[in-house]
Amino acid sequence: MKAEVLLNVANICHLSKVNGPGIRSVVWVQGCRRNCPGCINPQTHPHKAVKLLDPVELGKQLCQIEQTNGITLSGGEPFEQAKACSILAETVKSHGKTVMVFTGFLFEHLITCQNTDVQHFLGQIDLVVAGPYIQELACESRLWQASSNQTVHFLTPDLSRFLPWEDIEVFEINSSGDKLMFTGFPDRQDIEWMKEILGYTNSIESAQNGDGHGEDLNGGMNGQ
């Protein structure tokens, strides 16, 4: 059956422990119009087709990974593909798994938005980290927040059981296809240390963490 809408995906990684509570599959969507200065993932900004995937099939596939607690949607901007993301999230929730989202929108904006796709998507989310990346407020000490203006909202109790956050790992090396991915919320010292260990001499091409923040090796991604 033909998909109702396709999700434009920049990248996916599995079994991540640093992009939200528990063990998660991370889906970085392609496309963000916000252009936050200093965003670490500018390659995800253009709304050009990268991987166009059926969100129902993607959700089913991700839920087949038994070890995962759920998915994290990052970007790019998930709410710029609210309909496709809501279908993916609904599929994941129907399998008893959880949904976390990083967004550049303010939480107040989202909850008062009249768009039905946005509201349906919000209704599927367990945990959201909201707000644009503000370079002047960049922080390394707040888990899942790349700048201190970003706010964390547990919309259901399903993920709050992972608190306290102090016990949660901060960064990891993951893989996506033939790429190594340094993902999570590392501080600058961690990044230099990992680059040295991996013998990485080229410039960092992309990174993503939380809302477009983190560091990435060999063109991978981090958080949002």
**Which residues of this chain interact with ligand SF4, rule CB under 6 A?**
32, 34-36, 39, 41, 44, 75-77, 104, 132-133, 211-212, 224
Q: DSSP readout, 97-163?
A: -EEEEEESS-HHHHHH---HHHHHHHTT-SEEEES---GGGB-SSSTT-SBTT-EEEESSTTTGGG-
**Rounded Cα–Cα distance for residues 210 and 13 (Å):** 14
Q: Measured from the CB of residue 95, what is the shortest distance to ligand SF4 in angstroms?
A: 27
Cβ pair 185, 211 in contact under 8 A: no
CB of 220 to ligand SF4, least distance (A): 15
* Cα–Cα dist 60/92, whole Å: 7
Q: Which is nearer to ligand SF4, 46 or 190 (CB)?
A: 46
Nearer to ligand SF4, 55 or 78 (CB): 78
Q: Provide the minimum distance between the beta carbon of 71 and ligand SF4 in the complex, in angstroms, as a whole number.
A: 17
Least CB distance from residue 37 to ligand SF4, whole Å? 9
Nearer to ligand SF4, 21 or 76 (CB): 76
Q: Which is nearer to ligand SF4, 39 or 63 (CB)?
A: 39
With left for phi above 0 and alpha for psi between -120 and 50, is residue 201 left, alpha or beta?
alpha
Bridge partners (DSSP) listed for residue 74:
28
Which strand (E) or helix (H) includes residue 26?
Answer: strand 24-29
Q: Which residue, 63 or 223, is less far from ligand SF4 as judged by CB? A: 223
Q: What is the DSSP letter of 204?
A: P
Q: How far is the CB of 44 from ligand SF4 (least distance, A)?
A: 6
CB of 45 to ligand SF4, least distance (A): 6
- In the complex with ligand SF4, the residue whose CB is nearer, 56 or 207, is 207
Spatial contact of 174 and 217, defined as CB atoms under 8 Å apart? no
Cα gap 38→213, rounded to integer Å: 9
